[in-house]
C-alpha cells in the first residue's frame, strides 16, 4: 500500500532545540514559549491489600505510612513462602530474611511511637502480630519436618 505524499498526515514536526544549526540561540515563538497543560490525573487502581481504605481519616487513598507497612508485610509473606511467585510457582520460605523484615517493621513501630494516628498504630500492631504468629507457626512446622 503506497501512501499519497500529497495528503496531510496529521503529524507535525516542531524543532524545539535551543540553538540553530549555526550555534546561535534560537528565539522562542509564542507557541513554543507556552507551557503544556498538565494532563488530568489518572484513575488509580483499587488496592487489594491488608489495608482497608475505609479506615482512613477522610481520605480515599492510603497514607504513605500505610503503603510502607503494606509493602513490608507483603514482602514478608513472600519471604515466608505464603504467596506464589509471578508465574504461580511456589516460593520456598526464606526464614532469615522474613525475620529481618519483621524486625524492620518493629523498628518502624519503635521509631514512630507517639507520631501515628490511631488507625496507623492499630494497622502496624495488627500486621506485626499476624506476621509474628505466622513466622512462629512456620518455624514449628519446619522443626517437625527436620
Report the 10 Å Cβ neighbour count for 96: 8
The verdict on residue 110 lying in a domain is yes
Q: Is residue 21 part of a domain?
A: no
pTM: 0.57
Mean pLDDT, residues 100-121: 96
Domain that holds residue 120: 60-145
Average pLDDT over residues 7-36: 62
Whether residue 87 lies inside any domain: the answer is yes
**Based on the structure, what is the number of domains in the chain?**
1
Looking at residue 86, its pLDDT comes to 85
Amino acid at each position: 500500500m503506497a501512501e499519497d505524499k500529497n495528503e496531510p498526515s496529521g503529524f507535525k514536526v516542531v524543532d524545539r532545540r535551543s540553538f540553530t544549526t549555526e550555534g546561535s540561540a534560537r528565539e522562542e515563538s509564542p507557541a513554543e514559549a507556552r507551557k503544556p497543560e498538565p494532563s488530568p490525573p489518572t484513575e488509580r487502581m483499587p488496592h487489594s491489600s491488608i489495608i482497608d481504605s475505609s479506615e482512613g481519616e477522610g481520605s480515599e487513598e492510603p497514607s504513605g505510612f500505610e503503603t510502607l507497612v503494606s509493602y513490608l508485610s507483603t514482602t514478608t509473606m513472600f519471604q515466608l513462602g505464603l504467596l506464589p511467585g509471578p508465574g504461580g510457582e511456589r516460593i520456598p520460605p526464606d526464614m532469615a530474611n522474613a525475620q529481618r523484615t519483621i524486625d524492620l517493621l518493629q523498628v518502624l513501630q519503635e521509631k514512630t511511637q507517639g507520631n501515628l494516628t490511631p488507625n496507623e498504630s492499630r494497622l502496624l500492631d495488627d500486621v506485626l502480630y499476624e506476621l509474628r504468629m505466622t513466622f512462629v507457626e512456620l518455624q514449628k512446622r519446619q522443626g517437625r519436618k527436620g
